[in-house]
A and B are shown apart, each in its own frame.
Chain A
Amino acid sequence: MQPFTRHRGLVGPLDRANVDTDLITPKQYLKSIERSGFGRYLFDPLRYLDEGWLDKPENERRPNPDFALNQPRYRGCSVLLTRANFGCGSSREHAPWALADYGFRALIAPSYADIFYNNCCKNGLLPVVQPEAVVERLFAETLANPGYELTIDLEQQHIETPAGERLAFHIDAFRKGCLLAGLDEIGLTLQSAAAIKAYEQQRAAAEPWVFGVLDRARL
């Protein structure tokens, strides 16, 4: 996972609440067995006027000129500014994969759906929470100022505006540590292998019906 320490980038606005994972990465793209390449399908139903499918040639796509991120001024944006309950719906990690593959490094919104939030942190994508009023103001500043950039400092846990204002944000220590280090979580957990084994032995004695029941050869 790519570490996240400090990032400065162009802000792209998506002025819509409750953006669900079907809008972020629609189902037809979930047929891929790959982990990369989803950026071209990000926000597909909002971004294009035609219906897309996996590997549809890009020159056959008709971009929706009304979709903010299609405007030249937001080309290359890497900080997504959006509204409450972003990422609601399914657990598909294809949603953060698509956001990261498109080029986003951080998100700013008043709230996120739980599973989506978690999935972002596993993919080096930092979901920053800010109060509604701050998000409202950032929308106004983004729209009013072409080239509007924000700096997000995970170590210090603040956003820095072009005017030099610092907006603090909260993130729990575990997720922060993983993002800063770009950590292999499985490797970290396997350091606790002895504790897992000890727990298993105790459970197998107390609840033997939990283990040894499912067997590929005699299911």
Chain B
Amino acid sequence: MPRTLYDKLWDAHLVEDRADGSALIYIDRHIVHEVTSPQAFAGLRAAGRTPWRTDTTLATPDHNVSTLPAERRGGYAALPDAQSRIQLEALDANCGEFNLPEYRLDDPRQGIVHIIGPESGAVLPGMTVVCGDSHTSTNGALGCYACGIGTSEVEHVLATQTLVAKKMRNMRVQVDGQLGPGVSPKDLILAIIGKIGTAGGTGHAIEFSGPVLREMSMEGRMTVCNMAIEAGARVGLVAVDQTTIDYVEGRDHAPRGDDWQRAATYWRTLYSDPDAHFDRTVALQGEEIAPHVSWGTSPEMVLPISGRVPAVESGRDATERNSIAAALDYMGLQAGTPLTEIPIDRVFIGSCTNARIEDLRAAAAVVAGRKKAASVRQALVVPGSGRVKQQAEAEGLDQVFLDAGFEWREPGCSMCLAMNADRLAAGERCASTSNRNFEGRQGAGGRTHLASPQMAAAAGIAGHLVDVRPMLAAC
């Protein structure tokens, strides 16, 4: 029987089916960070349990870390926030106690969990990957079954190397044609979420396919899979092809020699069979997708940059009209305002969605030779990992940003969720490459406009949301 990629990964990791309809799925990689793990380790300790294996887990701190170079150089002692310090020290202590591999805060390989997995080769095609963070779907770009889990499940995976799961339905998002110049993978995923809604993928594993995905780089595919969760799907996937294999080859923890040949041969089978059944298919045409920005407080509240802030009356039912009204109120926007007339106070370029080297290159290309608008209070560039930072510095990107008046920081989640000091003040408006524009996400009262790295950079130069494409033409 023809199978989807998700079906194949499910079958390959099925330990046992249970009478009640649930299944035990084996987990190949477990990525751990400081925020959703302390209670899981406490649970292990309380029950007198130890990890099932110690060679399948990789830990690193990211959510709660300072991105200020001075605070990073000073180690934990230099962190002004005692609660953050306790949480970071707890991760180190727990990994030490349970003998788990960790890229510690001062390790050049430290970074955002979903960036360091693929980057280090710890995450390889065909694996099951979990992490106590919903954006674990990012890893699906490598042809992995990757999903976010809660802390109880973190404890369960540590203790048993398995997850109790129920098989999801299959959904395909097919993107034909090609993306236009200045249109990025971020614009594609924002357009997809705008089309199917934030609950559109609930209960499904979404496979992204079609010529646009085939032509897309691995980092672009990671951006797309990253936001599968904003479309409601725990799992996002892209089939393995030569681009995947080339990306993996030579990475720290990737196989070598004979194992490499065997692995690559297996990985090449990781695609959906031609006649595989999808419960739902959605199609988009690449040429029709313009740069997108969000205007509201949910990732489905997005529009092409040529659009205008919608009116409450455009809601299809009372619930949606209430949501639009609440969003306009929170965002301080008037219906009918052209998106390009929305001024911004800050720019954030970073996060597990858009802090890889290609993202920084794309933003730097817009910024080069230009200056941050005087009205923009701060433009933060936060690389996704120590290695991304090193690479960017080797290419001189840090200097491009600094010359334009942008700030160059140390790796971490930063203003994506504002657990550290990088946050918006109430009422401030930010063009952000992150993944969520929820109320208060980037700081209490802060207003987020989701955008691609190019578009966020362009907004920082213009001082307002703007279509980056004419600026690129002028480069």
Q: Which residues of A contact B (CB under 8 A)?
A: 15-18, 20, 22-23, 26-28, 30-35, 45, 51, 54, 83-85, 88-93, 96, 111, 113-115, 118-119, 122-123, 172-174, 177, 184-186, 189-190, 192-193, 195-196, 199-200, 203, 207-216, 219
Given A88-B198, A192-B24: A186 touches B134 (CB 8 Å cut-off): no
Of the stretches B68-76, B374-382, B437-445, the one at the interface is B437-445
Could you tell me if B20 and A45 are in contact, using CB atoms closer than 8 angstroms?
A: no
Could you tell me if A172 and B83 are in contact, using CB atoms closer than 8 angstroms?
A: no
- 5 A-B residue pairs with Cβ-Cβ distance under 8 Å, sorted by A, are A45-B444, A174-B164, A174-B166, A216-B99, A219-B103
**In-complex Cβ contact of A45 among B54, B152, B419, B440 (8 A):** B440
Asked if B105 is at the interface (CB within 8 A of a chain A CB), the reply is no
State the Cβ distance, A18 to closest chain B Cβ, in Å. 5
User: Which A residues are CB-close (under 8 A) to B39?
Assistant: 33-35, 93
Q: Which residues of chain B from 316 to 351 have any CB-CB distance to chain A below 8 Å in the complex? A: 319-320, 322-323, 326
Given A30-B419, A189-B164: A209 touches B263 (CB 8 Å cut-off): yes
Asked if B232 is at the interface (CB within 8 A of a chain A CB), the reply is yes
Could you tell me if B54 and A216 are in contact, using CB atoms closer than 8 angstroms?
A: yes
**In-complex Cβ contact of A114 among B26, B36, B232 (8 A):** B232
Could you tell me if A93 and B58 are in contact, using CB atoms closer than 8 angstroms?
A: no
Would you give the 0/1 interface string for B438-475, flagging 1 where the beta carbon is closer than 8 Å to chain A? Answer: 11110011000000000000000000000000000000
**In-complex Cβ contact of A89 among B47, B81, B101, B436 (8 A):** B436
User: Which A residues are CB-close (under 8 A) to B312?
Assistant: none
Asked if B21 is at the interface (CB within 8 A of a chain A CB), the reply is yes
State the Cβ distance, B400 to closest chain A Cβ, in Å. 31
Q: Which residue of A lies closest to B263 (CB)?
A: A209
State the Cβ distance, A156 to closest chain B Cβ, in Å. 18
Q: Which residue of B lies closest to A90 (CB)?
A: B134
Asked if B56 is at the interface (CB within 8 A of a chain A CB), the reply is yes
State the Cβ distance, A90 to closest chain B Cβ, in Å. 5
In the assembled complex, the Cα of A193 lies from the Cα of B15 at a distance in Å of 10
Q: Which residue of A lies closest to B168 (CB)?
A: A114
In the assembled complex, the Cα of A27 lies from the Cα of B234 at a distance in Å of 21
**In-complex Cβ contact of A22 among B152, B203, B426, B439 (8 A):** B439
Could you tell me if B150 and A91 are in contact, using CB atoms closer than 8 angstroms?
A: yes
State the Cβ distance, B201 to closest chain A Cβ, in Å. 9
Q: Which residues of chain B from 42 to 80 have any CB-CB distance to chain A below 8 Å in the complex? A: 42, 47, 49, 52-58, 63-64
In the assembled complex, the Cα of A134 lies from the Cα of B39 at a distance in Å of 37
Could you tell me if B55 and A212 are in contact, using CB atoms closer than 8 angstroms?
A: yes
Q: Which residues of B contact A (CB under 8 A)?
A: 15-16, 18, 20-22, 24, 26, 28, 35-36, 38-39, 42, 47, 49, 52-58, 63-64, 81, 83-84, 86-87, 90, 95, 99-103, 122, 124, 126-127, 132-134, 136, 147-153, 155-156, 159-162, 164, 166, 198-199, 202-203, 229, 232-234, 253-255, 259, 262-263, 266, 298, 319-320, 322-323, 326, 417-419, 426, 436, 438-441, 444-445
**In-complex Cβ contact of B152 among A27, A54, A123, A212 (8 A):** A123
Which among B63, B86, B152, B156 has the greatest number of chain A C-beta atoms within 10 A?
A: B152
Given A83-B319, A93-B151, A177-B20: A189 touches B57 (CB 8 Å cut-off): no
**In-complex Cβ contact of A85 among B21, B55, B198, B418 (8 A):** B198
State the Cβ distance, A30 to closest chain B Cβ, in Å. 5
Which among A113, A195, A219 has the greatest number of chain B C-beta atoms within 10 A?
A: A219
Could you tell me if A173 and B255 are in contact, using CB atoms closer than 8 angstroms?
A: no
In the assembled complex, the Cα of A88 lies from the Cα of B323 at a distance in Å of 15
User: Which B residues are CB-close (under 8 A) to A200?
Assistant: 26, 161
Could you tell me if B156 and A186 are in contact, using CB atoms closer than 8 angstroms?
A: yes
State the Cβ distance, A83 to closest chain B Cβ, in Å. 6
Which among A54, A208, A209 has the greatest number of chain B C-beta atoms within 10 A?
A: A209
User: Which B residues are CB-close (under 8 A) to A216?
Assistant: 54, 95, 99-102
**In-complex Cβ contact of B57 among A15, A92, A214 (8 A):** A214
In the assembled complex, the Cα of A16 lies from the Cα of B90 at a distance in Å of 37
**In-complex Cβ contact of A115 among B52, B148, B159, B254 (8 A):** B148
Could you tell me if A214 and B134 are in contact, using CB atoms closer than 8 angstroms?
A: no
Could you tell me if A215 and B56 are in contact, using CB atoms closer than 8 angstroms?
A: no
Could you tell me if B83 and A199 are in contact, using CB atoms closer than 8 angstroms?
A: no
User: Which B residues are CB-close (under 8 A) to A122?
Assistant: 150, 152-153
User: Which B residues are CB-close (under 8 A) to A33?
Assistant: 38-39, 42, 86-87, 90
In the assembled complex, the Cα of A186 lies from the Cα of B136 at a distance in Å of 22
User: Which A residues are CB-close (under 8 A) to B101?
Assistant: 214-216, 219
State the Cβ distance, B323 to closest chain A Cβ, in Å. 6
State the Cβ distance, A124 to closest chain B Cβ, in Å. 11
Could you tell me if B298 and A18 are in contact, using CB atoms closer than 8 angstroms?
A: yes
User: Which A residues are CB-close (under 8 A) to B319?
Assistant: 17, 83-84
State the 5 A-B residue pairs at the shortest beta-carbon distance, nearest first. A209-B255, A174-B22, A33-B38, A122-B152, A173-B20
In the assembled complex, the Cα of A137 lies from the Cα of B86 at a distance in Å of 47
Could you tell me if B152 and A93 are in contact, using CB atoms closer than 8 angstroms?
A: yes
Could you tell me if B124 and A210 are in contact, using CB atoms closer than 8 angstroms?
A: yes
In the assembled complex, the Cα of A130 lies from the Cα of B92 at a distance in Å of 44
Which among A122, A195, A216 has the greatest number of chain B C-beta atoms within 10 A?
A: A216
Could you tell me if A91 and B133 are in contact, using CB atoms closer than 8 angstroms?
A: yes
**In-complex Cβ contact of B440 among A26, A85, A219 (8 A):** A26
Could you tell me if B202 and A85 are in contact, using CB atoms closer than 8 angstroms?
A: yes
Could you tell me if B417 and A213 are in contact, using CB atoms closer than 8 angstroms?
A: no
